[in-house]
Structures are given as C-alpha cells and as structure tokens.
Structure 1
Amino acid sequence: MNHKIDTILFDLDGTLINTIDLIVASFEHTLDHYFPGKYGREEIATFIGPPLSETFGRLNPGYTEEMIGMYRKFNHANHDDLVSEYEGVQETLDELYDAGYHMAVVTSKRRDTAVKGLQLMNMEKYFPVIVSLDEVTKPKPDPQPLYTALDQLGRKAGQALMVGDSEHDILAGKNAGTKAAGVAWSIKGKEHLESYSPDIMLHSMPELLNYIKTPNVK
C-alpha cells in the first residue's frame, strides 16, 4: 500500500538504538540512592518516555536537578558499554537514505547525549535534523518537536511517519497529523503501544520498508 510517505521521524532510545539497559541502569543507580529498594525494572519501564525533569519532578520534588545530574553522570560514564544496535536498523536506514527519504531524529533527551548515541552507532549521516529536548519548550506528546523537525526538513505532516517505542511517540504523531508507528520491541510491551492505536506496529525495522514502499522519492 502506498501511503505517499516521504518523511520519517524516528525516536532514538529504544527505537533506533538499544539504550534500554543503559536507561534502566541509570534509573536504578539514581533511584536506589534516593529510594533504596523501592523501584524495580517493571516500574522503571513506566518512567521511560517523558523528560527526566518530568519524571524526577513527580517522584521527588525539590531534588529534580540533583537527580538529573546523578542520572546523567552515570549515563554518560556507562554509555558506550551499555548501548547496542537493533537487528535490521542500519540496513533499513541505508535503504531509506539511498531512496531519498527525508529523515530526522525527534528525541526527549538532550542533544549532546543524542549525538553521542548516533555517533557510536555510525548513524549521523542519515539525520540532517535532530530535534532534542534542547530545541523545544514542549516535549512529546506535544506536537511541537515534530513540527520543528518537519519545518527544518521543509516537509509536511501529511506525508510523514513518526516511529517510536513509547505512547508519547504515537500520541505526538497523532497530535501533529502524521502517521504513527509503534515498535514491538518496546520495553513497555507491544500490547501497551497497541492500546494507543498506531497506524502500524513494526515487529522489526525492515517491516517499515514494506509499509511505506515508495521507491525513488527524491
């Protein structure tokens, strides 16, 4: 089916690169300091998606910046050891790039950390536009980050697809007027994402190629 999609916006963590072990370990390190033994992996999974300021601000008002600092120090120190690639992502990005699709990363993490992950996975060349927490005032699920990316790419929402591992990505796509794709390898679980009615659920990244199927869109 041809959806006339010529633009793909990707979330980064848990979608393009496997940072789940790093994120969970960073949360565990921080939360165990402030709330020893209180939060396990299952609860931590529910914290993934929103900006750290939102999560820590809700859990421990008054210590938000301190907790963010502890999280980021651990995260940066352990980044390269705990980040890995998802099977089929690089090959899919290669095909999309060669076919002339317009691509951007839209993430709720800081720009320096996002760039660090893209550099580690040799994915920089695919993404002339990176919209991070540093470029917006309203993170996903608000449409502002997607609008920012589309504006920088010079593309329209009606011909774009947002791909992500969180309900924030799916809702942001719906709010911005793009198509929305969930990824079944999300730590939150396929069923959780399906409850937000994405246009497609990807079980592997190469399935994206079959969904958009618009060759030579340059």
Structure 2
Amino acid sequence: MSNKITTLLFDLDGTLVDTNELIFSSFQHTLDLYYPGQYTREDILPFFGPSLTSTFYGINGEKAEEMIEVYQAHNKAHHDELVTIFPTVLETIKQLKESGYKLGVVTTKRTEVAKMGLELTKLTPYFDVFIAFEDVEKTKPDPEALFKAIEMLDSRPEEAIMVGDNFHDILAGKYAGMKTAGVSWTIKGVDYLKSYEPDYILETMSDLLDIVEGKR
C-alpha cells in the first residue's frame, strides 16, 4: 500500500514564482560586464537551477565572488518589476495549507532574495519551513536540504513529494526517497524534465490537489 502524502516541498524559481526574465537579465548584465558579447540567452539557459556559486565558479574561479555580487545587486534592483507568480499557485498553496498539509520551500537561491520573491507573491504565510543556499553544505541534487526540511516538519520521506522545474529538484527528490513532480512550465521544456522520470508532470499547480487526494 502506498504512503499517503502529508508533506509537499517546493522549489522556488521557475516552480512557484516566475523569475525567468529576472534571471536572464541578471546573468546577461553580469556576463556582459566580464565577457562582452560572448553569452546569448541560449548560453545562459543551463545556468538556471544550479546555485550561483557553482555557476560562477565554473565560469571564472578567480572572479566568481565578485561576479556573484554584481549579479545579486542587479537582481535585487529589478526584482519587483520582473517577478510574477505562476497561474493557480497561490490558490493551490492556500488550499493545501488549509487542508492541513505540511509545506516547505527548498531552494538553491540565497535567503534574502528568495524571501523577497515569497513576500512579493504573498506566499510567505503558507510555508512552515524555508531552506535556502546558506542553510546547507550541499545544494540540490544532493538531498541534504530535503532531509533537513522533512526533519523540521516532523515528517518522513515516504510521505513527501518534491515539486520542481529542474533536473536537480527531481534527482534530489529521488535520492531522498520521495515522490517527485515536474512542472510543465519549466523554461527548459517539459521533455527535458520528463527525461528524469518524475512520478508526475503538472500541467498546472492545481493538479497537485488531485495527486495528494490519490485521484492520480
């Protein structure tokens, strides 16, 4: 008999909140300063998902911290004008919370800007746990953050589902022994996400309501 889902963990960027243009803009601004004209939007796409630390150290280890600061300054300055919430997210999260499910955010983003996104989209009150880049030694796809969230929620992996838009969300969920759900609105394309074999693909966030009730 399968375990009933009691706990839902969510990635933030690209899953709950639409930060795609903000991320593109922040990377483009930063990379154009250091490598003028060398990076296109297509080149930037693989940087969606991993932490800024892993991305910028991969580009230039000596300048990585400096580049992160430039990225973050641009990101904060343009945050509220470029960030929106995906359709049905707020209503679904609210309904899950009111139904007694345990909810957490697990992001590779740094705390300050991640919390700005939750505040802007009015999602903050619905989450019991928030795990960001600074809270772990190893970011997704390592399952450390997911295990930490589960422990804080007094839950178990077999009762949880990890929802995300990127491969590292799906792999982290699998490594943690959880169910996984990929979102069809991932900027990398749903076929990319399907290749990592999540248990579910969400056409819209409200699909989760049927999943947790065992209708899917």
- Superposed pair shares fold, TM > 0.5: yes
TM (norm. structure 2) is 0.96
Please give the residue correspondences for 1:103-182 in structure 2 after superposition, counting only pairs within 5 Å.
Answer: 103-182=103-182
Alpha carbons 1:3, 1:212 under 8 Å: kept: no
Shift of 1:204: 0.6
Alpha carbons 2:3, 2:158 under 8 Å: kept: no
Structure 1 residue 9 corresponds to structure 2 residue 9: yes
Q: Which moved more, 1:126-135 or 1:36-45?
A: 36-45
- Equivalence for 1:191: 191
- Equivalence for 2:61: 61
Alpha carbons 1:184, 1:203 under 8 Å: kept: yes
Structure 1 residue 102 corresponds to structure 2 residue 102: yes
Q: Distance in 1 between matches of 2:201 and 2:214?
A: 19
Distance change >3 Å, CA 3–CA 211, structure 1 → 2: farther
Alpha carbons 2:92, 2:205 under 8 Å: kept: yes
TM (norm. structure 1) is 0.96
Percentage of identical aligned residues: 48
Please give the residue correspondences for 1:20-99 in structure 2 after superposition, counting only pairs within 5 Å.
Answer: 20-99=20-99
Shift of 1:3: 5.4
Q: Distance in 2 between matches of 1:56 and 1:63?
A: 8
Q: Distance in 2 between matches of 1:81 and 1:3?
A: 42
Query: What is the letter of the counterpart of residue 75 of structure 2?
Result: N
Structure 1 residue 210 corresponds to structure 2 residue 210: yes
Q: Distance in 2 between matches of 1:3 and 1:195?
A: 25
Shift of 1:126: 0.7
Unmatched tracts of structure 2, length 5 or more: none
What RMSD over aligned residues (CA atoms) do the two structures have, in Å? 1.2
Q: Distance in 1 between matches of 2:213 and 2:3?
A: 8
Shift of 1:140: 0.2
Q: Distance in 1 between matches of 2:132 and 2:149?
A: 10
